[in-house]
Structure 1
Amino acid sequence: MNYRHAFHAGNHADVLKHFILSRVLGLLGRKETPLAYLDSHSGLGLYDLMGDQATRTGEWREGIARLWAAFDVPAPLTSYLDIVRDMNPDGELRFYPGSPEVARRLTRPQDRLLFNEWHPDDGQLLKANMAQDRRTVIHQRDGWLLPKALLPTQEKRAVLLVDPPFEQADDWTRCALALKESIGRMRQSVAMIWYPIKDQRQLKRFYQELQKSGAPKLLRAELSVHPVDNPIGLNGSGMAIANPPWGLEEELRQVLPWLAKQLCQSQSGWRLDWLIEERPA
């Protein structure tokens, strides 16, 4: 496994992913019942945007940097941006949270955090970055095994983020299988699948596979910063969210148009709809 997320930390895809994660946890946190958060491909947890890897690409400059300087930010973005601001108290944007740090900061004492990172170096850095939080357990195994290994959880509520690097051709199928397995093992779990927007034919097949997952309901949220049929590069990204908490759809409908305008690089757009609609009881 060669992928290192530090090269892409804070880009437009991270903004979408971490914003949605922040709202899922925020909305679920309104109930006192404990939850377990599972992260299949965790990365480091914390990133230095002035470090060697991030500065080689500079992708964060077209992502979180645009929100850092923005005015009239929609209210649902506040909890996500507050984390970034708290990590940069001198007012200069340098440090950025990965999904483990977003989850660590937005969960409660009664919640449990289960992180997994297979890359040996990144896994050790993740352990160091999360060492002060006794709620966390760090695994270093194949992330695709996480649903089978850890679901169902002892908690009655679980949130799973599947965020692979998409280095392998079968990652698309593995994502769909991970969703199917998660729902099969813990039907009420909130399972989120992040995916890149590149090949439209591949995406169409992916949507069809997700629709066969057996999820009670599945929300699709996408944000593009280039034309979606652009043959080169990352045009945008999406999140498929099984069992989204009540209120998330409304918040996304408020924020996605603003993000599309704010993060546009050549031609932006957004989509929010249901891949699987909940059936009446």
Structure 2
Amino acid sequence: MNYRHAYHAGNHADVLKHLVLSRIFALMVRKDTPFAFLDSHSGIGLYDLQGDEASRTGEWEAGIGRLWQLDEVPELAVDYMEVVRALNPDGELQYYPGSPELARRLTRSQDRVHLNELHPEDGRLLKANMGGERRIAVHQNDGWLLPRALLPVPEKRGVLLIDPPFEEADELERCVIALEEAIGRMRQTVVAVWYPIKDERQLKRFYQGLERSKAPKLLRVELLVHPADSADRLNGSGLAIANPPWPLEDELRELLPWLAEVLAQSEGGWRLDWLIEEAASGKL
């Protein structure tokens, strides 16, 4: 509970997570019917990159800072970058949107947003940053309980982001449990589990747990900014996505090579494959 995301806001892992999330939102809103977005570990929702925490690490400079300097980005990245630019209308990069702010701006009036943050101070800031918007509910509970507390949702369509701080040794295992619980309560839920790429032995066990899960289909999305040969640094990050909306796989196959090239710090790379093969029938 000591983790504060403000130190890491806008880094390469955030860029991957939020770019993918923006594409999920874009694909979900193609249908007129509403959906609900659930965020298990929300943080404060909006970050000051020139504030004390972000300035101490400067991680954002090798993340969103690189995209900010580009004259053009691929069309599939435009929604994400438009949110960032809307928060910085004077042309100087200062504010960065967390997943709550992205959800607030990229979902519609008929969609509901459930945000959860247990940290007392961050929970208070999250409520303030969301501005009391009626379709957005802010909860201050244990994020691991979110699937059983809120699923199934009345909208019949849902997106769940599981993004814990990874302060505890068992959090990869808890991610698998939370994914299974979400799928068990509402099988069609799009569940995106974010994870760091550090210890390859831990990740191997994590992958095996995901492969044994009851997800109908499960896409693995990974971005490396360093070779995955050291457990002492954040080499990259990934998302395991259950029930990815169509055609997210094709979109990411187009985006990931570009992203790996832009964000590489020593040697960039990417991976996109199915941990649980996509069924031949039906599109979400």
TM bucket, shorter chain: over 0.9
Aligned residues with identical type, % of pairs:
68
Q: Which residue of 1 aligns with 2:94?
A: 94
Q: Which amino acid aligns with 2:209?
A: E
Q: Which moved more, 1:71-80 or 1:155-164?
A: 71-80
Could you tell me which residue of structure 1 aligns to residue 22 of structure 2?
22
- Asked if the contact 1:4/1:43 (under 8 Å) is kept, the reply is yes
- What is the CA-CA distance between 1:119 and the residue it aligns to? 0.2
Matched-pair contact (CA < 8 Å) for 1:196–1:234: yes
| CA-CA distance at 1:231 after TM superposition | 3.0
Q: Could you tell me which residue of structure 1 aligns to residue 31 of structure 2? A: 31
> After superposition, what is the alpha-carbon deviation per residue over 1:10-30, rounded to whole angstroms, capped at 9, x for unaligned?
000000000000000011100
1:240: which partner in 2? 240
Q: 1:202 is matched with which residue?
A: 202
**Counterpart of 2:147?**
147
Q: Distance in 2 between matches of 1:132 and 1:139?
A: 12
Distance in 2 (alpha carbons) for counterparts of 1:154 and 1:85: 33
Task: Supply the distance in 1 between the matched residues of 2:17 and 2:64 (Cα, whole angstroms).
Answer: 12
**Could you tell me whether the CA contact under 8 Å between 1:197 and 1:234 is conserved in 2?**
yes
Stretches (4+) displaced over 4 A: none
Shift of 1:72: 3.8
Shift of 1:213: 1.6
In the other structure, the counterpart of 2:69 is 69
CA distance in 2, matches of 1:36, 1:113: 6
C-alpha displacement of 1:3: 0.1
Q: Does 1:254 align with 2:254?
A: yes
Shift of 1:70: 1.5
Q: Distance in 1 between matches of 2:78 and 2:171?
A: 32
Moved more, 67-76 or 26-35: 67-76
Partner of 2:104: 104
Q: Is the 8 A contact 2:200 2:231 kept in 1?
A: no
In structure 1, distance between residues paired with 2:280 and 2:98 = 37
Amino acid at match of 1:182: A
Does 1:271 find its partner at 2:271?
A: yes
Within-5 A mapping of 1:73-222: 73-222=73-222
Tell me the equivalent position of 1:12. Answer: 12
Aligned to 2:231: 231
TM-score scaled by length of structure 2? 0.98
- Tell me the matched-pair count: 281
Give distance in 2, aligned partners of 1:27 and 1:125.
Answer: 29
Query: Aligned partners of 1:94 and 1:280: how far apart in 2?
Result: 45
Counterpart residue type for residue 6 of structure 1: A
The one-letter amino acid of 1:229's match is D
The Cα shift of 1:212 comes to: 1.6
2:147 counterpart letter in structure 1: P
- Tell me the amino acid that sits aligned with residue 82 of structure 1: E
Letter in 1 for 2:165: P
Does the 8 Å contact 1:218/1:242 carry over to 2?
yes
Partner of 1:3: 3
Normalised to the residue count of structure 1, the TM-score between the two structures is 0.99
Q: CA deviation at 1:269?
A: 0.4
Mapped contact 1:88–1:95 kept (Cα < 8 A): yes
The answer on whether the counterparts of 1:74 and 1:254 sit within 8 Å (CA) in structure 2 is no
Query: Contact 1:157–1:188 at 8 Å: present in 2 too?
Result: yes
Residues 192-241 of structure 1 show CA distances to partners (whole Å, capped at 9, x for unaligned) of 00000001111110001011221110001000101111232100000001
Distance 1:113 1:31 in 2: 17
